[in-house]
Amino acid sequence: MFNIVIFGAPGSGKGTQSENLIAKYGLFHISTGDVLRDHIKRGTELGKIADGYIKQGQLIPDELMVSILAQVLDSNAEAKKGVIFDGFPRTIPQAKALKTMLAERGAVVNAVVGLEVDDAELIDRLIKRGKESGRSDDNLETIKKRLDVYHNQTSPLRDFYIGEGCYKAIEGVGSIDEIFGRIAAALDPLYNA
């Protein structure tokens, strides 16, 4: 199992680069944001709960998020070959839960691809995306809250994964192909090892 966490602030390019990662490494992709938006669209109980948090730019509580992730992992046989975790973990408790979940399956996080982009560029990108995405959280007020949440709750994971020895810092600015070139250069030696 080759497991990658694609990590970075909202607007750092996680979704875009996940598509390139799927194409190159053929791994199973789990975007927790997409999973939640699908529940909202289908009007499930979970979707109703998630909608309130997402509109406010807040994180879904850890316990709920971890159980959703475990369910997605268990119900998809393709996840056994390896997973691109996109948008998860977002807190230290989620990272610890992921470590345990993978250990139970005899696996680890092999690499964390950390897309590093400054806030001014992120805001610019998210406002542009909001004009097309129709996402309830791509407006200036919610974007600022999501960046605060990122800096307070999610960015400490960078140090956590540096400590685990698997963090790969990637400059997330430039063309999509340039950025993917940097990602592949960091992952290829691990993937082919």
Which residues is 114 bridged to in the sheet? Answer: 7, 169
By three-state DSSP, how is residue 17 classified? helix
Q: How far is CA 5 from CA 43, 132, 143, 183, 188, in A?
A: 28, 26, 22, 12, 15
Given the residues 129, 144, 145, 158, the one annotated as active site: 129
- Indicate if 135 belongs to the active site: yes
Please tell me whether residue 5 binds ligand AMP under the rule CB under 6 A.
no
Query: Minimum distance from CB of 59 to ligand AMP (Å)?
Result: 4
- Nearest C-alpha neighbor of 109 from the set 63, 67, 160, 181: 160
* CA–CA separation, 103 and 100 (whole Å): 5
Determine whether 105 is an active site residue.
no
Residue 29 near ligand AMP by CB under 6 A: no
Site string for ligand AMP, 48-87 (x = CB under 6 A): -----xx--xxxx----x---------------------x
- Annotated active-site residue 90? The verdict is yes
**Pairwise CA distance, residues 32 & 72, whole Å:** 9
- Map tokens 């230290």 to a residue: 92
Is 8 a residue that touches ligand AMP (CB under 6 A)? no
Using CB under 6 A, which of 2, 7, 88, 167 touches ligand AMP? Answer: 88
Indicate whether 10 belongs to the interface with ligand AMP (CB under 6 A).
Answer: yes
Which is catalytic among the residues 125, 146, 168, 182?
146
Q: Which is nearer to ligand AMP, 24 or 55 (CB)?
A: 55
6 binds ligand AMP (CB under 6 A): no
Whether the CB-CB separation of 98 and 91 falls below 8 Å is answered with no
Residue whose C-alpha is closest to residue 146's, from 129, 110, 122, 162: 122
What is the total count of residues that contact ligand AMP (CB under 6 A)?
18
Contacts of 76 (CB under 8 A, 6+ apart): 28
The least CB distance from residue 192 to ligand AMP, in Å, is: 29
φ, ψ of residue 123 in degrees (nearest 5): -60, -45
Given the rule CB under 6 A, which residues bind ligand AMP? 10, 32-33, 36, 53-54, 57-60, 65, 87-90, 94, 137, 146
Q: Report, as residue numbers or ranges, the catalytic residues.
A: 14, 90, 129, 135, 146
